[in-house]
Structure 1
Amino acid sequence: MSLFRTPARPTARRRGTSAVVGIALAAALVGSLAACSSSGSAKAADGGSTLRVGFISNTPNPAGPEGWADAHGELLPALRSAGISKIAWVPFKNGPDLSAAVQGGSLDLATLGDTPALTAKANGIDTHLVNQSAVGQDAWLVGAKGVTSLDDLKGKTIATQVGSYMYRYLVALLKQKGLFDDVKITHVYTTNAVASLQSGGIAAYAAPAGQLTGVLTAQGYPVIDKASADHPELLGTGATIITTKELAAHPGLPDAWNAARAKAVSEINADPEAFYEFAAKASKTTVDVVKVSQPVTLYPAEPFTDKGLKLLQGTDDFLAENKLSKGVVDIDAWRVPASTATTPAG
């Protein structure tokens, strides 16, 4: 049974539509996901546990510091002390689908964007925050040819992956500019963005900076807005979450995971070019694209930083205030228990 089948999604538009749309629709997967999974991390042949890790990617291999550590034979040895003897990586196209897998019991730990992680937590999916895996994820709004400004979008349809950090960026941007009620937002996977723009079905697409934006700009599609350049408060962060059940079974896992990740971050900062080559191969893209989408500066060594927590709190407040989630998440309480938490660094 496939974990990646996604139900058709209706158009999300105007006030009252939300990242909850993405979570609610993806939650339809829960029954099939639960049927495909065992309850809790599976027992490996050697008596240890298999850690089932979800991540966002169109390829089967994780490309961040965690993927680097795994590919270099460093991650699993670091997790053995926590009772882990095998790692099973499971890719998902977007955060809401991954969240549904967490809820359905198919995953023990996952890395995803802050918006779907917060929305899932607010909607009752029982997780704890292990770290902020990335801080400063960029999003671009790319227009169809002939669309060069935000004002050109009035009365038209804009697309993104509903429920993603790009969705939060798009909604916040439109609200800031007073355009939210004048446009329609629809769900389109990043893999279908080029075709949607080429067909004229959408007037703009909110995309993660990297391969897609490189393809679009090379084909002459204009960049209307960049979060990094124009709205740094709308940059996204990554979140690593663990289920309550997995945390109870392996209480030392967050520390072990974060220690392995910190070592990997140190290594990629010492040799960025080697990391870019690794990430390009894992993502099946080019080094130039990776330098835009995954600069080494995106990855803090510490589990939490003041900058990252500020961005995360801003996202949480925005989602709750605009009814894009079911309420505010207590981020301090969401983080792993005090015995394994790390004091934020500046």
Structure 2
Amino acid sequence: MRPATDDAARRGAAKFSRAAGAGIAALVLALSAGCTVAGNAAEDGAEVLVVGYQSKTINTVTAGTLLRAQGFLEKRLAETGRKVSVVWQDYDTGAPITAQMMAGKIDIGSMGDYPLLINGSHGQQSEQTRTKMIAITGYNPHGALNTVVVAPGSPIRSLADLRGKTVSTSVGSAAHGLLVQALRKAGVDPEKDVKVENQQPPVGASALQSGNVAALSQFVAWPGLLVNRGEAEVLYDGGELNVPTLHGTVVRQQYATDHPDVVKAFLKAQQDATAFLWQQPLKAAEIVAEQTGLPAEVVYLYNGANGIATFELPLKSSLTQALRNDVPFLKSIGVLQGIDLDAFIDDSYLPEVTGSNGAVLSGIDPICKTPVGGGAGELWLTGEEVTQPAADPTCLLRAIKNAEKSGKKVRAAYVPDTATGTRWFADKSVWVQDGARLLPFTTRAGANRYGKGTVITYAQAVAAA
């Protein structure tokens, strides 16, 4: 459970979230009143390390939910010889984590790219509040971790149809950035043509279900969750934008200076969690599902083999450059005045990393008898402890058909979008039959852009396989 915080802290965190970074000085005062600094010694003689994380933002599980559940951090801290007590604080977004870090009440946190930049910018306003981005948790090189969804059966078929409509998003988040950039690319003015409601993900999801908003732009794992429940369908796949999106680990600079061995231990533990996810992606997804209440099928969509998220710690140049490219947008919406990225990004605490992302599909397709490579799909049958790979979409549909004929129940089937490569649920995809080819798309707009063949239902695709 989330540790209790005082009323001033809760009010400060909520205010920061609503304002997307405005009035940071007032927040620090509110959060600090009557409170001790997180790194101070506990009564039993142990030092306290406070970790802020977002359990349901499953792109950060290696620095949060999975890390905590498996006890990797405590094991690595024991190696330092220091007595450290870990306090975990769970939030829906990165903004309140930043507010707590500015007040010295969270030592290490994890959040998405836009919140990271806001964190670094606000931290640089004072020597006492400076922070460092020290690792990546997960990323997608094309932006597919953010998605715009609409209600099932919505008449809105493209971003252009959002003119004059209300869209929910979390202002200052990468999902907000996706919405603005995608609208502009579609020739829609995001300020004049669309009304944006600044809402937390759960509030926005409820607003979409009630019809109070026409669309919802959110980050992992909300789009997948709503689509899996049958409460939404994809309007725009963030992978179409082809702009990297990422999440990462951030630490208070003062804490890192005073406790470099603890920070290094944290990153070693994060690497342990990452290696566990690489080696046992299905088990990792089930652990995260148990801890968060999210369906394992949704967690595995993002974090599984060939998942939408890639998990690695190194601060790759392509990802740090993406952060630099994000700065102008955040300035344009008034949540960022400026940031010295060279001072903010620091890879000196990273452990030596060997190998690369191992959560990839491989082997031989048991139905089509061909090697599995790029464009592979995956079938997860109820009651099975392992999944089976599919060489291509047609092979996946054949595997589904065979399973259904033998009385087996499909728990989940995953397939990459024909155009963007974004992995999605096979039964929630839009299918096109083009001669003998059966092609999946995450959106109807994508299927229409393909321009050939006939759009068919999932059931028809399975029958045709």
Alignment TM-score, normalising by the size of structure 1: 0.83
| C-alpha contact (below 8 Å) 1:114/1:238 kept by paired residues | yes
Q: Tell me by how many angstroms 1:159 deviates.
A: 1.0
Q: Tell me by how many angstroms 1:66 deviates.
A: 4.4
Matched, 1:138 2:145: yes
Equivalent position SS for 2:274 = helix
The C-alpha deviation readout for 1:286-341, integer Å capped at 9, x for no partner, is 110101233365353433223432333332354346654112x3333212374x35
State percent identity of aligned pairs.
Answer: 23
The C-alpha deviation readout for 1:115-135, integer Å capped at 9, x for no partner, is 011023223352011111121
| Distance across 1 between alignment mates of 2:210 and 2:18 | 28
The C-alpha deviation readout for 1:123-180, integer Å capped at 9, x for no partner, is 3352011111121260110124222211111122111112222112222222323322
Quote the residue 2:69 is aligned against: 71
Quote the residue 1:106 is aligned against: 105
The C-alpha deviation readout for 1:245-275, integer Å capped at 9, x for no partner, is 2112102233222212112211221111110
Quote the residue 2:221 is aligned against: 210
Q: Paired residue for 2:51, among 43, 50, 53?
A: 53
Q: Paired residue for 1:198, among 202, 206, 209?
A: 209
Quote the residue 1:265 is aligned against: 274
Q: Report the AA paired with residue 260 of structure 1.
A: A
Q: Report the AA paired with residue 65 of structure 2.
A: G
Q: Please say which of residues 84-93 and 317-326 is displaced more in the overlay.
A: 317-326
Q: How many residues align?
A: 331
Structure 1 residues 215 and 322, CA, compared in 2 at 3 Å: closer, same or farther?
Answer: closer
Unaligned runs of 5+ in 2: 1-5, 357-465
| Distance across 2 between alignment mates of 1:245 and 1:79 | 19
The equivalences for 1:1-346 within 5 A come to 1-2=6-7, 3-5=9-11, 7=14, 21-24=19-22, 29-35=27-33, 37-57=35-55, 63-64=61-62, 66-80=64-78, 81=80, 83=82, 85-123=84-122, 124=125, 125-136=129-140, 138-144=145-151, 145-179=154-188, 180=190, 181-216=192-227, 218-219=229-230, 221-228=232-239, 230-233=240-243, 235-295=244-304, 298-320=309-331, 323-327=334-338, 329-336=339-346, 338=348, 340=349
Q: Report the AA paired with residue 336 of structure 1.
A: D
| Distance across 1 between alignment mates of 2:333 and 2:320 | 20
Equivalent position SS for 1:134 = strand
Q: Please say which of residues 274-283 and 314-323 is displaced more in the overlay.
A: 314-323
Q: Report the AA paired with residue 294 of structure 2.
A: T
Q: Report the AA paired with residue 282 of structure 2.
A: E
| Distance across 2 between alignment mates of 1:164 and 1:332 | 22
Unaligned runs of 5+ in 1: 10-18
| Distance across 2 between alignment mates of 1:98 and 1:47 | 26
Equivalent position SS for 1:252 = helix
| Distance across 2 between alignment mates of 1:135 and 1:31 | 34
Structure 1 residues 343 and 64, CA, compared in 2 at 3 Å: closer, same or farther?
Answer: closer
Q: Report the AA paired with residue 334 of structure 1.
A: F
Equivalent position SS for 1:79 = helix
Q: Over the residues paired in the alignment, what is the CA RMSD in angstroms? A: 3.1
Q: Tell me by how many angstroms 1:58 deviates.
A: 5.7
Q: Tell me by how many angstroms 1:93 deviates.
A: 1.9
**Higher alpha-carbon Rg:** 2
Equivalent position SS for 1:232 = coil
Q: Tell me by how many angstroms 1:92 deviates.
A: 1.5
Which of the pair is proportionally richer in helix?
Answer: 1
Q: Report the AA paired with residue 75 of structure 1.
A: L
Structure 1 residues 8 and 262, CA, compared in 2 at 3 Å: closer, same or farther?
Answer: closer
| Distance across 1 between alignment mates of 2:274 and 2:232 | 34
Q: Report the AA paired with residue 197 of structure 2.
A: T
Structure 1 residues 70 and 300, CA, compared in 2 at 3 Å: closer, same or farther?
Answer: same
Alignment TM-score, normalising by the size of structure 2: 0.64
| Distance across 2 between alignment mates of 1:98 and 1:272 | 27
